[in-house]
Amino acid sequence: MSDDSKNVPRTVSVLVPTPSPVPYTYALPDGVSADPGAIVQVPLGPRQVAGIVWEVGDNGNDIDPAKLRPVTTVFDCPTLTPDMRRFIAWVSRYTLSAPGMVARMVLRAPAAFEPEAPVAGLALTDERPQRMTSARERVVALAAESSPMAWTRSGLAHAAGVSLSVVDGLAAAGTFEAVTLPPTAIVAPPDPNHGPPDLHDSQARAAEALTGDIQADRFAATLLEGVTGAGKTEVYFEAIAAAVSAGRQVLVMLPEIALTQAFIDRFEARFGAPPAPWHSDLPPKTREKVWRQVAEGSVEVVAGARSALFLPFADLGLVIVDEEHDAAYKQEDRVYYNARDMAVVRAKLADCPVVLVSATPSVETRHNALEGRYRHLRLDRRHADAALPDVALVDMRQNPPARGGFLSPVLLDAMAQTLEKQEQSLLFLNRRGYAPLTLCRVCGHRFACENCSAWLVEHRFRGQLQCHHCGHHEPVPEACPECGTFDHLVACGPGIERIAEETLTHFPDARVIVLSSDMAGGVKRLRLEMEAIAKGEADIIIGTQLVAKGHNFPLLTLVGVVDADLGLANGDPRAAERTFQLLSQVTGRAGRTGRQSLGLIQTFQPDHAVLKACASGDAEAFYAAQLAERERGRMPPFGRLAAVIVSATNRPDAEAHGRALRAAAPSSSDITVLGPAEAPLAMVRGRHRFRLLVHGSERADMQAYLRAMIATAPNPRGSVRVAVDVDPQSFL
Ligand SMILES: [Zn+2]
Ligand SMILES: [Zn+2]
């Protein structure tokens, strides 16, 4: 070995998709080098897996490379930027997830690590064929005009209106030579000057502040708040235009991207091209192209769901989180993270601006804005001539529905008037299916899921009983499985299918559409139905929280909330906030084009502070009351929470490990542990669940505490699994 090669590191540490808390070390074969952030293939047990080079060299550990397994391949792929690597480390530390499991979220496009195959093309030479036909002349003339652009063989034949053999003949005669074309771009570059907006005063001021941040080119966090229809999107589009003009990449995060064709259309109208999409429903080929082109820096704007945070941007210059309060940003699987919070961290590490956008911001974000940690930009005026709907509470004790029904006379009257005006009504109920519980009238048997502690929900359209937690379903039986009586099963409580049935008994000639995420036909059918509604092809829309997302229905002038008490009843500390956000959004659906509109909220507790705030539209009062309540209870953002969820295939094991964790909890003056308690959802997918809740002061080091607790407790054995959920959103 020469002195020279001694200085070249022969080992690398690699993040591989395992629960190991540290990277694994591999040898670098002779002549192969890899930088930190390089994507490699390495052996892991009997498999080959993709991983991320974490560090180069063995940090003086003096490991003999001959005793290590070698790196199989260093992919011909841009290395991850230092800020992306810091982000992986940060998410791992914060969520207490193995760094390899975070890396796994970055590497979810395996075929993208090798360069895209170049496309074969033809370019015109100076050579002309001896025999010229009119067809050949057309081809040569076309290619000469477009020179120096190269053509694909079929593209040229098609454009010139000749057969492929004419093109082949010219190529054989040397008139065209074979060249390689770069792979096609997944989307055309956005043009910041394509469709400049006409901004009203408060929009223009907000846009100016945001474009100023882009020019300043460093981290800045902003809350952009404005009621539905105030024109928030136009404002942040200006920030995107500024970033694109500066040659930077932009990440726009949206909840449930698959359903927001309306957003893509608006983007295209502003920039002349759609953004690159990123979500779980993308076809693998598209996914790989987007990943690769984001890594290469050729894609300028990505609009994606929460997992887009882990795309390997080459030069991230702006992050937008639209509907920042949306619960869909929380992932509760393997790595538990809140994509909204992580987006702020991502921007901070990339030293670029981040904009959180909402009509009903989360209490935490509102608090950060009040405290001056985020700049607060507000759009107070509703765009164009749209008016906010009048919202009223319907006291169900005084306006009871007809026997067996769920719609009060007040709501039915308003629906009849809306039908008469040929406008649309929306009935909102956040409960899929026909009825949340089915029981036997004779013996009282209740249909429960065999895998979960949950009742089966009747889906009458499909003739099924379904579990909404594990997906288990069975046909609705003709006879009770317990007592054998025929035709005595009764539905308890309403689901949207039952509301649809009730609606049709009152308005048999109305065109009714039921919108739910689980209807047959999936996303495609939903999109078609949304379009049909926007075109006025329905009179009454009945839907779950899906309808609260940013769809624009111009004819919608009445929104009825069937059961506003539903969300307030489940003992979740965030229930009030969620209900306020959901009801504000739902009622905000009405009257977006200036028609007189109305929101009616059915409730048995019209004195509840949250519902009163919804009716009066007094968001300030709502936030002030919520913040005061959270401060009293030292709840977030005035304190910190983490949940530890222990599950096992049998109850005693889950409970015993929960107790062992509790016993292992260090004593601390500013952190307390509650539990273990059996989870409200005591069994999911056949696993019994216990929860511990760790409650700390604002300054408590929750991660260090949790790490110590888990390290001190015995290792989980058998089927026992431990999941840590820092900043939990769900308490089930
Ligand atoms: Zn029975
Ligand atoms: Zn189930």
**Distance from the CA of 454 to the center of ligand 2, in angstroms?**
6
**Distance from the CA of 505 to the center of ligand 1, in angstroms?**
29
Residue 324 parent element (H or E): none
> Given this model, what pLDDT does residue 180 score?
86
Smallest-distance ligand from the CA of 456: 2
Q: Which residues neighbour ligand 1 (ion) by CB within 5 Å?
A: 440, 442-443, 445, 480, 482-483
For 145-187, the pLDDT digits (tens) are 875 578 888 888 998 899 999 999 999 999 999 888 888 889 9
List the one residue out of 470, 468, 473, 432 whose CA is nearest residue 684. 470
Phi and psi, residue 563, nearest 5°: -145, 90
Q: With bands split at pLDDT 50, 70 and 90, how would you rate the model's confidence at 2?
A: very low
**Distance from the CA of 490 to the center of ligand 1, in angstroms?**
10
> Given this model, what pLDDT does residue 708 score?
96
Q: With bands split at pLDDT 50, 70 and 90, how would you rate the model's confidence at 291?
A: very high
Identify which has the larger pLDDT, 503 or 522.
Answer: 503
Name 509's Cβ contacts closer than 8 Å, sequence gap at least 6: none
Smallest-distance ligand from the CA of 490: 1
For 485-497, the pLDDT digits (tens) are 888 888 888 888 9
**Euclidean distance between CA atoms 365 and 478, whole angstroms:** 51
**Distance from the CA of 492 to the center of ligand 1, in angstroms?**
15
Q: Model pTM?
A: 0.84
**Distance from the CA of 489 to the center of ligand 1, in angstroms?**
8
Q: Give me the percent of the chain exceeding a pLDDT of 70.
A: 93
**Distance from the CA of 30 to the center of ligand 2, in angstroms?**
54
**Distance from the CA of 446 to the center of ligand 1, in angstroms?**
9
**Distance from the CA of 682 to the center of ligand 2, in angstroms?**
11
> Given this model, what pLDDT does residue 3 score?
44
**Distance from the CA of 120 to the center of ligand 2, in angstroms?**
52
Sheet of 424-428: strand order equals: 390-395, 598-603, 556-561, 424-428, 540-543, 512-515
Please state the rounded mean pLDDT for residues 121-147.
87
Q: With bands split at pLDDT 50, 70 and 90, how would you rate the model's confidence at 55?
A: very high
Please state the rounded mean pLDDT for residues 199-222.
95
List the one residue out of 603, 622, 708, 690 whose CA is nearest residue 653. 690
- pLDDT surpasses 90 at 633: no
**Distance from the CA of 437 to the center of ligand 1, in angstroms?**
14
> Are 256 and 322 spatial neighbours (Cβ–Cβ below 8 Å)?
no
Q: Give me the percent of the chain exceeding a pLDDT of 90.
A: 55
**Distance from the CA of 211 to the center of ligand 1, in angstroms?**
66
**Distance from the CA of 432 to the center of ligand 1, in angstroms?**
25
Q: What is the CA radius of gyration of the chain?
A: 30
Smallest-distance ligand from the CA of 477: 1
Please state the rounded mean pLDDT for residues 580-605.
78
- pLDDT surpasses 90 at 532: no
**Distance from the CA of 278 to the center of ligand 2, in angstroms?**
30
> Given this model, what pLDDT does residue 154 score?
87
Smallest-distance ligand from the CA of 470: 2
Which residues in 606-708 belong to E strands, given as ranges?
Answer: 639-648, 671-684, 687-697
Query: What is the 3-state secondary structure of 152-187?
Result: CHHHHHHHHCCCHHHHHHHHHCCCEEEEEECCCCCC
Residue 233 CB coordination number (10 Å): 21
Name 198's Cβ contacts closer than 8 Å, sequence gap at least 6: none
Please state the rounded mean pLDDT for residues 540-557.
78
**Distance from the CA of 485 to the center of ligand 1, in angstroms?**
6
**Distance from the CA of 727 to the center of ligand 1, in angstroms?**
43
Smallest-distance ligand from the CA of 480: 1
**Distance from the CA of 484 to the center of ligand 1, in angstroms?**
6
Smallest-distance ligand from the CA of 444: 1
- pLDDT surpasses 70 at 674: yes
**Distance from the CA of 474 to the center of ligand 2, in angstroms?**
11
For 458-493, the pLDDT digits (tens) are 888 888 898 887 778 899 888 898 898 888 888 888
**Distance from the CA of 573 to the center of ligand 2, in angstroms?**
25
**Euclidean distance between CA atoms 727 and 94, whole angstroms:** 10
**Distance from the CA of 111 to the center of ligand 2, in angstroms?**
35
**Distance from the CA of 236 to the center of ligand 2, in angstroms?**
42
**Distance from the CA of 679 to the center of ligand 2, in angstroms?**
15
Smallest-distance ligand from the CA of 488: 1
- pLDDT surpasses 90 at 346: yes
**Distance from the CA of 448 to the center of ligand 1, in angstroms?**
14
**Distance from the CA of 687 to the center of ligand 2, in angstroms?**
10
For 380-431, the pLDDT digits (tens) are 765 454 556 788 999 999 999 998 899 999 999 999 999 999 999 999 888 8
Instruction: Report the range out of 175-189, 253-267, 317-331 with the highest average pLDDT.
Output: 317-331
Smallest-distance ligand from the CA of 466: 2
> Given this model, what pLDDT does residue 258 score?
47
At 37, list the tokens.
Answer: 């952030």
**Distance from the CA of 439 to the center of ligand 1, in angstroms?**
8
- pLDDT surpasses 80 at 536: yes
**Distance from the CA of 482 to the center of ligand 1, in angstroms?**
5
Smallest-distance ligand from the CA of 479: 1
**Distance from the CA of 450 to the center of ligand 2, in angstroms?**
6
At 172, list the tokens.
Answer: 């054989």
DSSP conformation class of 456: P
Please state the rounded mean pLDDT for residues 336-347.
97
Residue 528 CB coordination number (10 Å): 11
Please state the rounded mean pLDDT for residues 16-44.
94
**Euclidean distance between CA atoms 399 and 410, whole angstroms:** 7
Smallest-distance ligand from the CA of 446: 1
> Given this model, what pLDDT does residue 381 score?
61
Give the three-state DSSP class for 631: helix
Which residue's entry shows tokens 């390089």? 38
**467 has which bridge partners?**
none
Please state the rounded mean pLDDT for residues 637-665.
95
At 301, list the tokens.
Answer: 């704007």
Smallest-distance ligand from the CA of 439: 1
**Distance from the CA of 467 to the center of ligand 2, in angstroms?**
5
Please state the rounded mean pLDDT for residues 309-323.
97
**Distance from the CA of 456 to the center of ligand 1, in angstroms?**
15
**DSSP track, 68-120:** SPBP-EE-SSPPPPHHHHHHHHHHHHHHT--HHHHHHHHT--GGGSSPPPPEE
Virtual torsion, Cα 101, 107, 111, 117, nearest 10 deg: -160
Task: Tell how strand 220-226 and strand 353-358 pair up.
Answer: parallel
**Distance from the CA of 346 to the center of ligand 2, in angstroms?**
36
Which residue's entry shows tokens 């210059």? 317
The CA-atom distances, in angstroms, between 192 and each of 196, 230, 408 are 8, 22, 50
Residue 320 parent element (H or E): strand 316-322
Q: With bands split at pLDDT 50, 70 and 90, how would you rate the model's confidence at 1?
A: very low
| Residue-averaged pLDDT of the chain | 89
